[in-house]
Amino acid sequence: MELFNVYPVTPINIVKAQGSTVWDEQGNEYLDLYGGHAVISIGHTHPHYVKSVSDQLNKIGFYSNSILIPIQQHLASQLGEVSGKLDYTLFLCNSGAEANENALKLASFHTGRKKIIAFSKSFHGRTSLAVAATDNPSIIAPVNETDNVVFLPFNDEDSLQKAFSEYGEEIAAVIIEGIQGVGGIREASIPFLKLIRNLCDQFGAIFIADSVQCGYGRTGDFYSHDFAGVNADIYSMAKGMGNGFPIGGISISPKFKPSFGLLGTTFGGNHLACAAAVSVLDIIKKDNLMDNASKVGDYLISELKKFDKVMEVRGRGLMIGIELPAELANVKKDLLLKNRIFTGEAKPNVIRLLPALNITKEIADQFLTAFDERLKA
Ligand X SMILES: Cc1ncc(COP(=O)(O)O)c(C=O)c1O
Neighbours of 321 (CB within 10 A): 26
Q: Please tell me whether residue 113 binds ligand X under the rule CB under 6 A.
A: no
- For 182, the 3-state DSSP assignment is coil
56 or 213: whose CB is closer to ligand X?
Answer: 213
Tell me the C-alpha distance between 36 and 261, whole Å. 34
Task: Give the nearer residue to ligand X in terms of CB position, either 163 or 182.
Answer: 182
Residue closest to ligand X, measured at CB: 96
- Cβ proximity to ligand X: between 20 and 100 the closer is 100
3-class secondary structure, 119:
strand
> Quick one: which of 113, 124, 197, 271 contacts ligand X (CB under 6 A)?
124
Q: Return all residues near 188 (Cβ < 8 A) that are at least 6 apart.
A: 154, 155, 176, 177, 178, 179, 180, 225, 228
One residue of 36, 125, 268, 344 binding ligand X per CB under 6 A: 125
- Which residue in 96, 240, 297, 317 binds ligand X (CB under 6 A)? 96
Which residues fall within 8 angstroms of residue 92, CB to CB, at 6 or more apart?
Answer: 72, 75, 247, 248, 249, 265, 268, 269, 273, 274
CB of 167 to ligand X, least distance (A): 25
103 binding ligand X? (CB under 6 A): no
The one among 32, 101, 135, 177 contacting ligand X by CB under 6 A: 177
Looking at the Cβ atoms of 33 and 370, the one nearer to ligand X is 33
Binding region for ligand X (CB under 6 A) out of 118-126, 190-198, 253-261, 329-337: 118-126
Q: How far apart are CA 65 and CA 101, in angstroms?
A: 19
Amino acid identity of residue 97, one-letter, is A
Minimum gap (Å) between residue 97 Cβ and ligand X: 3
Nearer to ligand X, 32 or 98 (CB): 98
Based on its alpha-carbon atoms, the radius of gyration of the chain, rounded to whole angstroms, reads 21
Q: Closest distance between ligand X and the C-beta of residue 257, in Å?
A: 26
Q: Where are the alpha helices (DSSP H) in 265-315?
A: 271-286, 289-304
- Candidates 50-58, 95-103, 112-120, 252-260; binding stretch for ligand X (CB under 6 A): 95-103
Site string for ligand X, 209-248 (x = CB under 6 A): -x-xx------------------------x----------
Q: Is 36 one of the binding residues for ligand X (CB under 6 A)?
A: no
Minimum gap (Å) between residue 92 Cβ and ligand X: 14
| Bridge partners, 235 (sequence order) | 209, 251
Among residue numbers 252 through 311, which ones bind ligand X (CB under 6 A)? none
How many binding residues for ligand X (CB under 6 A)?
14
Q: What's the distance, Cα to Cα, between the start and end of the chain in Å?
A: 43
Residue 169, number of CB atoms within 10 A of its CB: 12
Residue 182 in the binding site for ligand X (CB under 6 A): yes
Q: Which is nearer to ligand X, 37 or 286 (by Cβ)?
A: 37
Burial bucket for residue 151 (CB in 10 Å: 0-12, 13-18, 19+): middle
Tell me the closest approach of the beta carbon of residue 212 to ligand X, in angstroms: 4
H or E element in which residue 321 lies: strand 319-323
Nearest in space to 100 (alpha carbons), one of 10, 220, 215: 215
Alpha-carbon distance of 352 to 314, in angstroms, equals 10
Q: Which residue number, 125 or 371, has a Cβ lying nearer to ligand X?
A: 125
97 touches ligand X by CB under 6 A = yes
| Closest distance to ligand X from the beta carbon of 39 (Å) | 9
Interaction between residue 41 and ligand X (CB under 6 A): no
Query: Hey, what's the torsion of the CAs at 162, 167, 170, 176, to 10 degrees?
Result: -20
**Contact residues: ligand X, CB under 6 A:** 95-97, 100, 123-125, 177, 181-182, 210, 212-213, 238
